[in-house]
Amino acid sequence: MAAVKNGMVKLPSALKDEPHMSPDWEVRRALIDGVRLREVRHVVTRNGTTTELHRRDWGVAVGDVEQIIHVSLRPGGVSAWHMHELKTDHLFVVAGAAKVVLFDGRADSPTSGQVDELICSAMRPTLVVIPPVVWHGIHNIGSEPLSFVNFFDVAYDYAAPDDWRMPPDTVDIPYQF
């Protein structure tokens, strides 16, 4: 039989939420070491919106921006797994909704082996900073094309790319898309 406390029936499988939001509505969670998030706000203007994607004074991005790319992913599409040894990704969704999954592949990291799953969308703009040697995959979870920008502190090297890949269904990462 379930216990009664303060006039409420406490069901055996019910768990009370841990604090996960600050008074400023910043999400509190233990992310993979080195991963940074910066939720930003849209500035509503008389003819649309303006959204800052990055500012040096936020202290979120690492190093200087050397290259920016734009990526579009079809509904249901998955781009995984991907990792860089040297460069840092700075990912920002500008249209649609994405599940961004991170896996800490760094042997010397305090969060080695940790998996983080983040939901990013144009409705809740967030800058996700992904350090080197953190594997990442992106899944378009919306019904429209996903559009995001990614900027890097090291430009793409056409002769010797700093890009490593594994298929989405690899057994080497404890996550399935």
Of 18-27, 91-100, 116-125, 129-138, least confident by mean pLDDT is 18-27
Position 94 pLDDT exceeds 70 = yes
> How far is 133 from 108, CA to CA, in rounded Å?
11
State both tokens at 104: 């800490």
Q: What is the DSSP letter of 139?
A: E
What is the band of 112 on the pLDDT scale with cuts at 50, 70, 90? very high
What pLDDT shows up at residue 55?
79
Q: 88 near 153, Cβ under 8 Å?
A: yes
Q: What percentage of the chain has pLDDT greater than the value 70? A: 96
> How far is 54 from 56, CA to CA, in rounded Å?
7
Tell me which H or E stretch contains 165: strand 164-165
Per-residue pLDDT, averaged over 135-155, amounts to 94
Domains plus CATH for the chain? 24-165 (2.60.120.10)
Position 48 pLDDT exceeds 80 = no
Residue 72 or residue 18, greater confidence: 72
State both tokens at 47: 């003819």
Position 78 pLDDT exceeds 70 = yes
CA 78 to chain CA centroid, Å, is: 14
What pLDDT shows up at residue 25?
67
Position 10 pLDDT exceeds 70 = yes
Q: Which of 34, 56, 79, 57 is nearest to 151 (CA)?
A: 56
